[in-house]
Copies of this chain bind each other. A is one copy, B any other.
Amino acid sequence: MPENLTDLIAELALANRILSHEGVLDAFGHVSVRHPSDPGRYLLSRSRSPLLIEPGDILEYTLDSAPVRPPKVHLYAERVIHGCIYQARSDVMAVCHHHAPAVMPFCIAGKPIVPVFHLGAAMGEEAPFWDQHDEFGDTNLLVVKPEEGQSLARRLGQHAAVLMNRHGATVVGGGLKELVARSIFMCQNAEYQMRALALGAATPLHPGETKLAGVISAMPTVVTRTWEYWSLRLAASGAMPPRRSVKKSARGRGKARRRR
């Protein structure tokens, strides 16, 4: 991960757009990264759909999910998901919360996702389930209160991902690129598992295979290859984030789009 704040913010905007373009995020979902020099803070966009996020949208938060500078914009209602996980897990450097179509059927059916192919091992063994209703009764299912975020973080434990009943999933990583790859591979895994079940059986990897295959996505050949590929696909769709400040780029972009 870049140690320079500006570069990391640019990478975070790009990560948001890649995850959106690859079908993990849609109008909803959010990705954060821990501050590169202050582990007591994290970086997260203002409330905006991930495909549109620009570096200028990124705000700094304390681990209590309070914005460091008073914002003039809407914030994500569910930012405690990020703060509570950074508090509970010092090894976690990046967090993604999403409602990907590939995982939703599992979150609704209450059926576990298990690694069924080598890249799927990036999610580790079976992800745990968290049902907000168990502890908090009737809610609108958004994770908004600190105690809700803390409960979710407890259920995540030392896992790489947690499924949230009738809501979505939250995935963590030791870095932004690892998080992006893990989130994408876990969605592919869920899709393949679902279709294999329709054929009769979805046998998971042997536990030893899961351990060994779990680090494939950290191999230099793989990180280089996937990031280049996902970036090119995003660029080909015309959706690369601008590098300039919010206001200018917003104006610039509008023009470019209109001109097409």
Contacts and interface: CB of A to CB of B under 8 A. Distances in A.
Contact of A117 (B166, B225, B228): B166
Given A191-B101, A199-B111, A212-B138, A166 B116 contact: yes
Contacts of A108: 116-117, 192-193, 196, 201-203
Interface size class of A (residues with CB under 8 A): 35 or more
A260 B110 CA distance: 45
Interface string A117-154: 11101000000000001000111111000000000000
A239 B27 CA distance: 19
Contacts of A85: none
Determine how many copies of this chain the complex contains. 4
A74 to B, nearest CB: 4
Interface in A175-223: 188, 191-203, 205-206, 208-209, 211-213, 215-216, 219-221
A260 B236 CA distance: 9
B232 A27 contact: no
A109 B201 contact: yes
A230 to B, nearest CB: 7
A117 to B, nearest CB: 5
18 contacts: A27-B229, A49-B228, A49-B232, A77-B221, A101-B188, A104-B195, A105-B199, A108-B193, A110-B201, A110-B203, A111-B200, A118-B140, A138-B208, A139-B212, A140-B212, A141-B212, A142-B216, A260-B260
Interface of A: 26-28, 47-49, 51-52, 74-77, 99, 101, 104-111, 116-119, 121, 133, 137-142, 166-168, 188, 191-203, 205-206, 208-209, 211-213, 215-216, 219-221, 224-226, 228-230, 232-233, 235-239, 257, 260
Nearest 4 pairs of A and B residues by beta carbon? A138-B208, A49-B229, A105-B195, A118-B141
Given A52-B228, A166-B209, 16 more contacts: A27-B229, A47-B221, A49-B229, A51-B233, A76-B221, A104-B196, A106-B196, A108-B201, A109-B197, A109-B199, A116-B166, A117-B166, A117-B167, A138-B212, A139-B209, A141-B209
